[in-house]
């Protein structure tokens, strides 16, 4: 693939990913939001394909677009959708959430500084594919161990939130 075609494909996939993420959180109909999340997952898989990480693209489609999205749809079935849709699109805590999002963006911008993290020595030879199972495992349990654990805590918080929302519906 030529450089211009690769860059064009990346910018397309990135722009549609950001747009579908925004549309997913702003739609009033939760099923429409899930469809936008599906579009997001597929376009992120396309970005992985451009990077040459075919395994991650397959995992993105199978695990996220398949299993996780089905889990979200089952969760939506537990909710009383007419009552949820009649309420405001954002809760009373949206300023706090917006502040947390801006703080995260500021931290991400600060972490972009190349001098912030010391350069690591390569763990494996450069002949290996960056999307191979060995390179993913080595990176996941060495360089990215802390972000991996933080992600697991975020997913745990989402599951606890789902249980709290579902439990709230059953209380008289």
Cα–Cα nearest to 130, from 45, 63, 54, 58: 54
pLDDT (0 to 100) of residue 74: 75
Output the CA–CA distances (angstroms, integers) from residue 133 to 14, 54, 130, in the order listed: 25, 10, 9
129: left (phi over 0), alpha (psi -120 to 50) or beta: beta
Are the beta carbons of 52 and 130 closer than 8 angstroms? yes
Q: pLDDT tens digits, residue range 30-64?
A: 788 888 999 999 999 999 999 888 888 888 888 88
The CATH architecture annotation of domain 1-114 reads: Up-down Bundle (1.20)
pLDDT computed for residue 89 by the predictor: 65
CA 82/CA 44 separation, integer angstroms? 31
For the chain, which ranges sit under pLDDT 70?
Answer: 1, 79-90, 114-131, 168-172
Torsion of CA 44, 47, 48, 54, to 10 degrees: 110
Nearest to 131 by CA among 44, 59, 42: 59
Sequence spans of domains, the chain: 1-114, 126-172
Give the integer Cα–Cα distance in Å for 68 and 155.
Answer: 11
d(CA 11, CA 3): 12
Task: Report d(CA 44, CA 10) in Å as an integer.
Answer: 10
């Amino acid at each position: 693939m030529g450089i211009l075609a690769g860059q064009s494909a990346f910018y397309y996939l990135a722009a549609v990913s950001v747009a579908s993420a925004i549309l997913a959180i702003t739609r009033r109909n939760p099923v429409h939001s899930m469809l936008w999340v599906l579009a997001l997952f597929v376009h992120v898989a396309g970005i992985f394909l451009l990077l040459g990480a075919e395994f991650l693209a397959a995992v993105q489609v199978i695990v996220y677009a398949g299993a996780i999205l089905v889990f979200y749809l089952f969760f939506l079935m537990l909710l009383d959708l007419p009552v949820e849709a009649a309420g405001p699109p954002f809760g009373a805590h949206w300023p706090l959430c917006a502040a947390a999002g801006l703080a995260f963006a500021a931290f991400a911008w600060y972490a972009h500084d190349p001098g912030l993290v010391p350069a690591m020595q390569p763990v494996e030879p450069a002949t290996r594919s960056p999307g191979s199972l060995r390179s993913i495992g080595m990176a996941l349990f060495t360089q990215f161990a802390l972000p991996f654990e933080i992600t697991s805590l975020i997913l745990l918080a989402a599951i606890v939130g789902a249980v709290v929302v579902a439990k709230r519906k059953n209380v008289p």
